[in-house]
Structures are given as structure tokens and as C-alpha cells.
Structure 1
């Protein structure tokens, strides 16, 4: 989706804000001079804070663990004593988990089985983490509910929102962490972005039910693009889908 997102992003803005930052790929592609990256997942934000301040240390921790199932399970179940170790584990587990899935149990523990290095690729290198650290230099990292982050957006800001997609009656298995965005959050999501729009923020939303949002957000432009799902529990579930993008400019 990145080429489409880049084509729709505003050309000028004062600050970039992303309340569901996840992998932060649009942030990295845009490389804004000032930004806020936020997410409800405390493990993600803590990891980014450590990569921002101590990228070499995080890389050294990851490099100490081999890409074997035995080591993966040991690291997954181990108690890490420092923030740097926990950051290294977060990146290590995400890289080598089955089909790249992130999932937590009800206790907030990562519980995805081993996927292997052959399919999932290599860990981030020291130079890559240093580059990411530099990209985060002028970024405020926040662990927060989306509503509080959206409330900060005002005239001159570009607000990009990519909440976890809603799939009707499908059971929440802990993807993105328990307590992540669900259908119960849609009404306050709409209210929050409508208020930010009135304050003058430029807003772009990625959502699989954008038609539903468009009914509430009158006059917003709707676009779409086709993309293949690259992460799913089973390869047969990876299919070409239509992604919808809604914006107020």
C-alpha cells in the first residue's frame, strides 16, 4: 500500500502524527521533520524508545540469540531484566514468529510459535537500527489510546490513522495485543477524527470498512488500491484484497 499512501499524503504539513504506528512504514518513507508516533502496545513503544536511544545495544542483544526453535522458545519464555533486553526480544520474536504474526494471550504474553529463519529472513542489522534511531530523533513516542493522541492534532498537522481492521464476528485472538481497536471503538474514533478535522488537521485513514466511516464523515474523499496480504496465520489466507483510504483534503 505504501506507493498509494505516498501519492495521497499531503505535500505540506508541520507535524506528522500516527496513533496506530505499528511498523511506522509511512513515517519512515516520509521522514517528517517533526512527529508523534503512538500505539496502545507498550512493548512496541518501549522497543522503539530503546532503539531510538541505544540501537547498538539492542542489536548486540539480538545477535546473541540463534535462529533455532529451541532458542526461540527459551527467549519467548524468559524473564528479561532490562529494557534493552526486552526490546531485543520483541524484535527477535517478531522476526522469527510463525508467518510474522503478532499475537498475545489474555495475560499480555507473546504466544506465537516458531516460524524459522529460512522463511522470515534476517534480523535487523546494527546499521539498520542506527538508521531507524536517526529517523526517530525528532519523534515523540507515546503509549496511549488513540483518542488522546488524535486530540493533539490541529491545523498544520498530518494525521495518518491505520487502526486494526474489523472482521465482523471473527473472534479476537489477541492480534496487535488485547485491548486493541475493535468495532466498539468506531463511534469514538469517528468523533475524534471529526473534531480533529474541524481543528484544521489533514487526515488520512486506512480501514477495511471505510464506506461505513464515509457515511459519518460527510464530504471526505474515498480511494482504494488492491494489495496482497503478506501476513496471515496460514498461507492460503493470503489473498488480494481491496484497501480503502479516506481523507478530508
Structure 2
């Protein structure tokens, strides 16, 4: 992968810059060229348990499976780190979090308005709590609020109370919303979402995964907090229960039986291995931690892989992956 240091600033505020439509056109064209050459786009959201590190490992083998006719499914979208790394020709991106999906949709359709609105908001503690309790009237302002809170909250966490109200406190670090506006992270993400054949859906994972067919690829990253049958958590008002784990496994096996490659990040304990008898498991170690300070202690994560082609020799050649029978 070629990594270019190419700062491209997007002049959005009319009171600071005189915008010429010809400048905007050539600016967009230049960024499209840069993305095409570089092929690397950062996720615009901070997300606990994000998989940018894993995307680098899986990208070679997964990209081989995706041609112009195959579809990539990511039914637990989160920050979309895997999608932005793979940049598949076709994608179905979905999540149960409606505000998250709306944010992706608004960024794809109205990037200029999103950026302009964000740049008008100060990164202060007082404004953060004003935005947190504000009720938005439009899809656009809701998307702006979502990005603003995500970039300014403690540790990039997404957490709701039982009433479905976002309740993460103010973070106050240098990774606020201004940077992703000025370094074109938002604009780059928007262009990828528009350049690719992407469908964004607010739905349960099973609705999306049931559409997968032979040759398609599914990557699932269900959020969990503790390895316990009582504590699988979406960080929202709805708990990801043990019954959901069983339902996910059944849905994944059905897609596998139809010929889809299914990859699931999950905890390995309390019977989860038993849910995937047809698959293989890979044990991965990475530094991981929630909150602004990363936990230096290495932690274990597992990939459950249902590969209809059973190309286990290729999987074992991947950096950091060792495949085992379940």
C-alpha cells in the first residue's frame, strides 16, 4: 500500500473563504485521484473495539474473493473500518443503530453541509453537553450531532442508557471534530461511499445476512463487553443477548450453506465455539483497551471462519493468523 502525505484542506466557511465552483470541482477531482492512487481512507468515527488493525490482516484474502459481482456485507457497521480498508465493489452496510446509519447516509449525500455545520461548532465542554441533550429536527442536524458527540466524547465510546439516550461524558482531548473536517477524512469517506455501490440499511443483522449468496463475503463484529451469557452488549438500549449469539450463528451457517464466506469476530468461551461446528477458529493477540488510554496488556480475540472453499492453507499464510479446528 502506498501512503501519501497529501494534506488537502476543504475551505467550507463562506465568511472565511470565497468559494468558486470551479475550485470545488478541481478539488474534488484531485481527491478522487488521490484516493484512487492511495486506496486508504480512515474511518471518520472513533469506535471502541474498532477493527482497523484486523482489516490490514484480512484485506489480502478477502479482496481475492470479491469481484464486481460479489457483495460485501457488514451487518454490525460501527465505524466501518473493515469496509473502508477493503473498499469492495459492492457493499451492504447495516446496523441496528438508526442514528449511525443516518450519519453515513447524510455524509454520502451531503458532505459539504455536514462539514460546514461541524466547523461552526466549538469543541468545548459547555457546547458538548448542549449538543448531547439537544433534540434534532432534521436528519442532517442529527448526523452532525452524532459526529460531534463521537469525536468529543470520552474515549470515542458509544453508550446509551435504557431509554436509548446517549450518555457518554465529555472527553476533551485533541481528537475533536475539527481535524476530520480539515484533513478531508470526512470528504474522503463520502467519496468512497458514493464511488462504490453501497447500500446502507438500518436493520437487524439477520435481515442483511439473509441476502448473501454464493461468492459473497460477510464480516460480523458483534459488540461484547464480557465473556458471559449475561453480558453481551451493543452499547445501546438493546442488549446483545446469548439468544442473539445463537441467532447470529444460525444465520451465519445458513449463509455459509448458500456459499458465502463468513468471518465473525467474537469472544471464545461459554459455548461460543460450539455454535460453529462447521468452521475454524483463529486466535489473535492485540493491544486493546476502551477509553482514551489504551490498555498495554495484550488481549485475545478470536475469528470464527466459515469458508465454503476451505482454503485453510491460504488462511494460515496470513500474518498473525493460525487456523485451528473447532
The TM-score normalised by the length of structure 2 is: 0.70
Residue 188 (structure 1) aligns with: 247
1:23-66 deviation line (CA, Å, top 9, x unaligned): 11111111111100000001100111100100111111111111
> Could you list the runs of 5+ residues in structure 2 that have no partner in the other structure?
1-53, 308-326
The TM-score normalised by the length of structure 1 is: 0.90
User: Which of the residues 1, 4, 16 maps onto 2:72?
Assistant: 16
Q: Secondary structure at the match of 1:46?
A: helix
User: Which of the residues 75, 79, 82 maps onto 2:131?
Assistant: 75
Q: Secondary structure at the match of 2:65?
A: coil
1:170 is displaced (CA, Å) by 9.2
Task: Out of 185-194 and 223-232, give the one that drifted further.
Answer: 223-232
Question: For the residues of structure 2 that align with 1:102 and 1:173, how far apart are their CA atoms?
Answer: 15
Tell me, yes or no, if the aligned pair for 2:229 and 2:241 is still in contact at 8 Å: no
Question: For the residues of structure 2 that align with 1:134 and 1:207, how far apart are their CA atoms?
Answer: 31
Residue 90 (structure 2) aligns with: 34
Question: For the residues of structure 1 that align with 2:268 and 2:233, how far apart are their CA atoms?
Answer: 20
Task: Out of 218-227 and 67-76, give the one that drifted further.
Answer: 218-227
1:197 is displaced (CA, Å) by 0.5
1:165 is displaced (CA, Å) by 1.9
Is 1:149 matched up with 2:208? yes
Tell me, yes or no, if the aligned pair for 1:45 and 1:142 is still in contact at 8 Å: yes
Task: Out of 176-185 and 93-102, give the one that drifted further.
Answer: 176-185
Distance 1:121 1:210, change over 3 A: farther
User: Which of the residues 139, 145, 163 maps onto 1:107?
Assistant: 163
User: Which of the residues 102, 106, 125 maps onto 1:50?
Assistant: 106
Question: For the residues of structure 2 that align with 1:238 and 1:42, how far apart are their CA atoms?
Answer: 33
Task: Out of 15-24 and 121-130, give the one that drifted further.
Answer: 121-130
Task: Out of 236-245 and 196-205, give the one that drifted further.
Answer: 236-245
Tell me, yes or no, if the aligned pair for 1:106 and 1:174 is still in contact at 8 Å: no
1:106 is displaced (CA, Å) by 1.6
1:154 is displaced (CA, Å) by 1.0
Q: Secondary structure at the match of 1:141?
A: strand
> Could you list the runs of 5+ residues in structure 1 that have no partner in the other structure?
none
Is 1:2 matched up with 2:82? no
Is 1:129 matched up with 2:186? yes
Distance 1:83 1:35, change over 3 A: same
Greater relative contact order, per chain length (Cα 8 Å cut-off, separation 6+): 1
Is 1:247 matched up with 2:305? yes
